[in-house]
Structure 1
Amino acid sequence: MHRRAGSGLSGPVTHPPGILEPLGPGLARLLAPNPSPFTGEGTWVHLIGSDRLAILDPGPADPAHLDAIVAAIGGRPVEAILVTHTHRDHSPGAAPLSAATGAPVWGCAPLAIPGDQEAGFDPDYAPDRVLADGETVALAGTRIEAVHTPGHTSNHLCFAWEHRLFSGDHVMGWSTTVVIPPDGHMGDYMASLQKLQRRSETLFHPAHGEPVEDPQRLLRGLLTHRIQRERQLLRLAGEQPGTVEELTGRAYPALDPRLVPAARATALAHLITLEEQGRVDCVQGIWKV
């Protein structure tokens, strides 16, 4: 059972980790054992190809999880390990999986993150090849396109294959996406949603949650949600200026305490973008219209 809008986990796990699930010809997935209020049931690892493979987002560097990926590969050649972004639930498994399979690591650029935010990122990620926006690579007997979608992180990539888009954390199937400054940027996130609206893929495979069979509807909903949150924060700051903590408390009443830090970060991301647009000011930590 999946819950949306960042409400946390509830109900039984519907996908046991480490079990290969076919999704169609030349595509399968398995779940990493990292459930949390921020990852849902865990991170999905996608295997693209039949006789030859590309592995997308290997997930955490958990030995049992990596053994499950190797078992799912079943001795088939792995031509590349693709990475959407360098959060710790996505990229740390790339290096040990590369060592086990001999496959190069391709995908997003590495990041140097200052301060407290560094804890959420993988500092050891070192790709063999950084893929540019719109770059198409021949892998696993097919062609896969890298699509730069900054916002959730500045280095985030999606990957397009046939009519499918592997949307990483930019578009998730169970929850809205957290945007945490300074690396995360709300203006970039919303622009990237609009970028995906202009594309033709009809099925999204997120790194968290179930496949999205009507992605255009979900993209419209995500943009509407963000616009409504932006308007709410403008209204609250106009009615009574306050700190990020105060505005977040008024914007997200009765929020699960585990999700308060993420809500504050996302509210701050909205406020920073509004400040860049000249619609709010921040004076000594107090946000006002």
Structure 2
Amino acid sequence: MPGLAPVTPFASVRRADNPGPMTLDGTRSYVLRAPGAPSAVVVDPGPDDAVHLGALASGPVELVLVTHRHADHTAGSTALHAMTGSPVRAADLAHCHGASAAPLRGGEVIEAAGLRIEVLATPGHTADSVSFVVRAPGEDPVVLTGDTVLGRGTTVIAAPDGSLGDYLASLDVLERAGDGRRGLPAHGPVIEDLGTAVRAYREHRLERLDQVRAVLAELGSDATVGDVVARVYADVDASVIGAARQSVAAQLHYLRTLPSTDT
């Protein structure tokens, strides 16, 4: 397929031309196919861009999978479905297309394009976020992480349904699934050892929580999102302040709903 770069013997990637503060250098769509298989699985069609979608659809596609609802992953889904006739499946029914396109379920195993694809429920970035463990005969598995773990930078806990508690639990899931395995994120470069990356992510999140606790200790438990952003995220670029505010709101909600340790 044109414009695709191989990353494993059964996975290739195409980066969409949609760079920005939240998409880094562009959303990555993955084309998965076991060697010799006649058709492919596309993960995350990306934006509604004719050139990008044309490259993804240039070979037979039997299934399209979506990691979560954000438009930089899903906007091209309808057009890709029309171009290929393949069902589009996501955890959120609103982003499924085709008569046979049932919502994805955590723990489900999909057999397609000569591959075994296990669906992992990994909410936190959004409530509908999923990841995929992909296995091809005779090859090392890889884990497609969507926006839950990125190849560069950190993940926003996105309004309105992101959850830091869910996100920390999802990191546990991905650490177990990805130790010693490559991670294929939707933004940024390939992660050579997903387990190592997950542990760094968790450490960063816990450090941020300690910083937020310090602000609450200084200003009181009714400190606002703006108060915390001004102290904890003072050095971030203005282009991602909105994302910082979303993550702080999730951090405050998490801390304020922790069970009390008072005796």
Name the amino acid aligned to 1:147: L
Rounded to whole Å, the distance in 2 between the matches of 1:86 and 1:191 is 20
Q: Which residue is equivalent to 1:58?
A: 45
Structure 1: where are the runs of 5+ without partners? Answer: 1-17, 111-123, 280-289
Name the amino acid aligned to 1:211: V
RMSD, aligned α-carbons: 1.7
Matched, 1:151 2:138: no
- 1:93 Cα deviation (Å)? 1.0
Name the amino acid aligned to 1:92: A
Rounded to whole Å, the distance in 2 between the matches of 1:41 and 1:157 is 22
- 1:142 Cα deviation (Å)? 1.6
Name the amino acid aligned to 1:213: E
* CA spacing shift, 1:249–1:200, aligned 2, 3 Å: closer
- 1:62 Cα deviation (Å)? 1.6
- 1:63 Cα deviation (Å)? 2.0
Match of 1:216 among 195, 208, 213: 195
Matched, 1:199 2:177: yes
Matched, 1:183 2:197: no
Matched, 1:139 2:122: no
Name the amino acid aligned to 1:207: A
Normalising by structure 1, we get a TM-score of 0.81
Q: Which residue is equivalent to 1:69?
A: 56
- Residues 65, 89 of structure 2: 8 Å contact kept: yes
**Deviation beyond 3 Å, 4+ runs, structure 1:** none
Rounded to whole Å, the distance in 2 between the matches of 1:159 and 1:235 is 37
Rounded to whole Å, the distance in 1 between the matches of 2:28 and 2:159 is 25
Matched, 1:44 2:28: yes
Structure-to-structure mapping, 1:1-289, within 5 angstroms: 19-49=3-33, 50-71=37-58, 73=59, 77-110=60-93, 125-127=95-97, 128-162=101-135, 163-200=141-178, 202-241=181-220, 242-278=223-259
Q: Which moved more, 1:193-202 or 1:128-137?
A: 193-202
- 1:196 Cα deviation (Å)? 1.4
Give the secondary-structure state (helix, strand or coil) at the position aligned to 1:199: helix
Rounded to whole Å, the distance in 2 between the matches of 1:55 and 1:64 is 15
Structure 2: where are the runs of 5+ without partners? Answer: 136-140
- Residues 92, 125 of structure 1: 8 Å contact kept: no
Normalising by structure 2, we get a TM-score of 0.89
Q: Which moved more, 1:205-214 or 1:61-70?
A: 61-70
Rounded to whole Å, the distance in 1 between the matches of 2:247 and 2:174 is 21
| Identical-residue share of aligned pairs (%) | 37
**CA distances 1:97-117 after superposition (whole Å, capped 9, x unpaired):** 01111101123223xxxxxxx
Name the amino acid aligned to 1:229: R
